[in-house]
């Protein structure tokens, strides 16, 4: 695994968004799954974006075709190979996000500053998180074929089923994660040890984040209308067809942003945008 620093040039332009409104409803209690034969869902990006420890998000993309990372204000780095999945998180507890990739072909995690860890197998979806509430992320995978979460250093948890999107959910302490899944088939969130909540429809992308400054809120992005539905915060239309939702802490209370692969443009709802990335890149 190599680590090569280069330079990145950015451009600033403008963008706009529109506010709408909408309710949600709740039902009760979590759920478990039985083993099934399953096709692996497309892994969802994990948005942990503070690479320099300033408490704000940085724009960044990972290029799967080359293993390069492009991070605004930090630089360009080579860390990974073609086909790797980016899994940046704070694995050392220093308040800065560490570059990391999961290699599906071998089930190996490569974490900058930590090393290589074999945890998982082909078909697993990497879901790192701070499952112990210690301030450090640990390797974890969700295995769609049997609905099981394998968390390094902890017991295995059967929670989910074929077709679910695994989404670690923060409870209590901001960094403390628990296994959770969003089920597109019925628009339901199943949060281990917490609750079951109907919020979303088939085709939505789950994007939980601390949108309101009170802890993590459930949220979905609806690609068909480019609408964000934030539980307890209503609905907001922001983006166009083809955009990838990229929530973060962008300063001034702004949390909504999208990455537009067709142009390599990042657009924040406060009206700013930057060019960084292109088609095939994964926003990080």
pLDDT digits (tens, 9 = 90+) for 89-148: 999 999 899 999 999 999 999 999 999 999 999 999 999 999 988 889 999 999 999 999
Region of poorest pLDDT, from 147-161, 169-183, 192-206: 169-183
What is the three-state SS of the chain?
Answer: CCCCEECCCCCEEECCCEECCCCCCCCCCCCCCCCCCCCCCCCCCCCCCCCCCCCCCCCEEEECCCCEEEECCCEEEECCCCCCEECCECCCCCCCCECEEEECCCCEEEECCCEEEECCCCCCEECCEECCCCCCCECEEEECCCCEEEECCCCCEECCCCCCEECCEECCCCCEEECEEEECCCCEEEECCCEEEECCCCCCEECCECCCCCCCECEEEECCCCEEEECCCEEEECCCCCCEECCCCCCCCCCCEEEECCCCEEEECCCEEEECCCCCCEEC
Mean of the per-residue pLDDT values of the chain: 83
Q: Which residues contact 219 (CB under 8 A, 6 or more apart)?
A: 206, 207, 208, 209, 211, 228, 229, 230, 231, 233, 247
- Across 51-55, average pLDDT: 86
pLDDT digits (tens, 9 = 90+) for 18-33: 222 222 333 322 333 3
pLDDT digits (tens, 9 = 90+) for 188-230: 999 999 899 999 999 999 999 989 888 889 999 999 999 999 9
At 39, the pLDDT band (50, 70, 90 cuts) reads low
């Amino acid at each position: 695994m190599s680590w090569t620093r280069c330079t990145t040039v950015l451009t600033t332009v403008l963008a706009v968004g529109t506010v709408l409104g909408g309710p949600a409803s709740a039902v009760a209690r979590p759920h478990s799954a039985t083993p099934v034969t399953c096709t692996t869902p497309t892994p969802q990006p994990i948005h942990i974006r503070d690479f320099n420890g300033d408490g704000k998000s940085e724009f960044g993309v990972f290029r799967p075709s080359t293993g390069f990372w492009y991070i605004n204000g930090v630089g360009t780095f080579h860390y990974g190979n073609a086909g790797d999945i980016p899994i940046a998180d704070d694995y050392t507890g220093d308040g800065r996000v560490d570059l990391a990739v999961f290699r599906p072909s071998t089930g190996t995690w490569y974490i900058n500053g930590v090393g290589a860890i074999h945890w998982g197998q082909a078909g697993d979806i990497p879901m790192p998180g701070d499952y112990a509430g210690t301030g450090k992320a640990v390797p974890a995978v969700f295995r769609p074929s049997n609905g099981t979460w394998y968390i390094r250093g902890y017991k295995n948890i059967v929670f989910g089923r074929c077709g679910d999107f695994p989404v670690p959910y923060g409870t209590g302490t901001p960094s403390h994660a628990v296994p959770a899944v969003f089920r597109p088939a019925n628009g339901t969130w199943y949060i281990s040890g917490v609750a079951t909540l109907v919020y979303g429809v088939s085709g939505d992308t789950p994007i939980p984040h601390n949108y309101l400054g009170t802890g993590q809120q459930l949220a979905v992005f609806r690609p068909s209308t480019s609408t964000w539905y934030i539980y307890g915060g209503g609905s907001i239309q922001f983006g166009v067809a083809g955009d990838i939702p990229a929530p973060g802490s962008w300063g001034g209370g702004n949390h909504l942003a999208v990455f537009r692969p067709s142009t390599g443009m990042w657009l924040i709802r406060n009206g700013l945008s930057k060019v960084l990335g292109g088609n095939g890149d994964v926003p990080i």
